[in-house]
Copies of this chain bind each other. A is one copy, B any other.
Amino acid sequence: MELKNDLILRAARGENIERYPVWLMRQAGRILPEYRAVRAKLSGFKELVETPEFAAEVTIQPVDLLGVDAAIIFSDILVVPEAMGLEYQMLEKSGPWFEKTIRNREGLIYADANIDVLDRLGYVLDAIKLTKKELNGRVPLIGFAGAPWTIFCYMVEGRGSKTFSESRKLLYTDPELAHELLGRITQVTISYLKAQIEAGADMVQVFDSWAGILGTEQYAEFGLKYMAMITDAITEVPITIFSKGAITSVPALARLNCNTVGLDWNMDVSEIRNIIGETRTLQGNLDPCALYSTHSEVEKRTIKMLDSFTSKRHIVNLGHGVYPDIDPEKVKTFIKTVKDYEMR
């Protein structure tokens, strides 16, 4: 089916665009009362992720309600470790939690790389198919996965952490085990992203949420190496990589075979453009907290960001997922400002 709005795909490929495309990380989620209404009917977060009808419904909500230029499939990066053998729970207060963790070679039984993603993650693929059908070509659908390093962090630590010191410890005490596990995650992630594309995803994004806890050298060895395998393998659709906090690794990221590099809100767009030139599209990066300010201030800050763009190779987004207590009207102001902005 032909897309009626393919702005984001053209921006990712560095083609001509009439205006900057805009979407928000976590746009399908607690920010919308309509999402909360769906969520309230269910037993929990996982039922929503695992039921294609509901996942498709909340995926499409921000397209209808906010007017974004892309939908992103409602899911979680932790479906991959679960498919490999580590079941997770999403606790209301403290977030993701794994009963088992992988901290030695014996633990590798919980990291099976030889799985059939069509079977284990069929519910995500069904949600993508259903969403594509219901979107009916209005906007592209983004698929996604966690980066191997970030998935590794959860599989070793078993939960969120400020320092992920258990995960980083393994890089020193058993780097071979770390590489084995990262390799397995990478293998599954590539199959999973390809299956998402096969199911209908028009572009994909890889989220490396914990990139910033490694120094440049270690991130090259344990992060970028595996990210490169993914960007080399995914040739079917545009691919975006978002390595949060990895500011010193941005030049290396921009050398990967990706179309788009996501920037967090602490990264300076102009500086990064100077470093990497026009070979990649940049995505981001308004501070999500800017949406707490007044409508006129949101507009002012959004325009300031747009004015800092010196080319068409930009996809507008926040520099992090939208915070759940942001007023959706502020999000609309952000989106309207981008849509009304006259490109130079």
Contact = CB atoms under 8 A, between A and B. Distances in A.
Interface of A: 160, 162-163, 165, 168-169, 171-173, 212-216, 218, 245, 247-248, 265-268, 287-290, 292-293, 297, 320, 323
B289 A266 contact: no
B290 A266 contact: no
A214 B288 CA distance: 11
Given A168-B289, A247-B248, A292-B169, A163 B320 contact: yes
B297 A212 contact: no
Contacts of A323: 163, 165
A237 to B, nearest CB: 30
Contacts of A162: 160, 162
A216 B268 contact: yes
A168 B318 CA distance: 15
Contacts of A216: 266, 268
Most B Cβ at <10 Å: residue of A172, A173, A320: A172
B248 A268 contact: yes
Contacts of A168: 287, 289
B266 A172 contact: no
A289 B172 contact: yes
A214 B266 CA distance: 6
A173 B291 CA distance: 9
Contacts of A267: 215
A125 to B, nearest CB: 31
Contacts of A169: 289, 292
A288 to B, nearest CB: 7
Contacts of A218: 287
Given A160-B162, A163-B320, A266-B214, A290 B172 contact: yes
A247 B245 CA distance: 10
